[in-house]
Amino acid sequence: MDAQRHAGQTAIVTGAGSGIGRATVLQLAAEGARVIGCDVNAAGLGETQDLLAAQGLHAEPVTADITVQDDVEAVLGQVGGAPVDLLANVAGIMDHFAPLDEVTDELWANVLAVNLNGPMRLTRAVLPGMRERGTGSVVMVASEASLRGGTAGVAYTASKHALLGLVRHVAYFYGPQGIRCNAVLPGPVATGIGASAMPVSQWAMERAVASMGVMGPIAQPEAIASVISWLGCAEAGNVNGAVVAADGGWSAA
């Protein structure tokens, strides 16, 4: 951890109330950034604030649902016109491991709203300021499921595959304007996202287990936060459009 890596910068982190998002808020704040942490879970944000205070750190919490455009605008309103140097799109939900013949329209729409539409809206919202300044970094938390068809249900898998398309689009079209966009792909991480997978489709879960024999070790959220921090800093200035596996070697199998 570099205490000056993000000094003087402003960062927005979604999913700040738990897991990887919380760890990212803590790391960026420790590295000197002004951090706006947003989450739909107000209680979780409060716990993040308590952890920050215990370390003598500070972040600005915003209770927001990134699937709602008014809430996206509220997050940008908290920034108050300051330049956004880093957007970390971390928030995500699972899908009960529902295969195609079991997924409902409601579940499909909800998962894609959080995992794809939310990141798109926030990225779209920060782009004008980044383009005006000629600099900025966006980091999308995708998944090992971005590379495979058998590690989750159809909605989660489709959303995380599509997220890579969004990353590559932003990297290609806005890279010449000084904006970088990269993806980090965690494998198993000790977070609370599993709660949004319950209850699971039993046969689909059993089928998915067959692809998990080479799964890497379970990582702590801080390990992924470190990758996000690096991708968002000046040291990674020549990294754009990258798909960075942070999965303990799972994707190498």
Catalytic positions are 156
Q: Among all chains, which residue has been given the structure tokens 């800093």?
A: 233
**Residues 173, 180: Cα–Cα separation, whole Å:** 10
Bridge partners, residue 87, by sequence: 12, 138
List, as one string, the DSSP characters of 136-162. Answer: EEEEEE--GGGT-SSSS-HHHHHHHHH
CB 228 within 8 A of CB 246: no
Interatomic CA distance for residues 147 and 131, integer angstroms = 30
Locate 166 and state its tokens. 């969004």
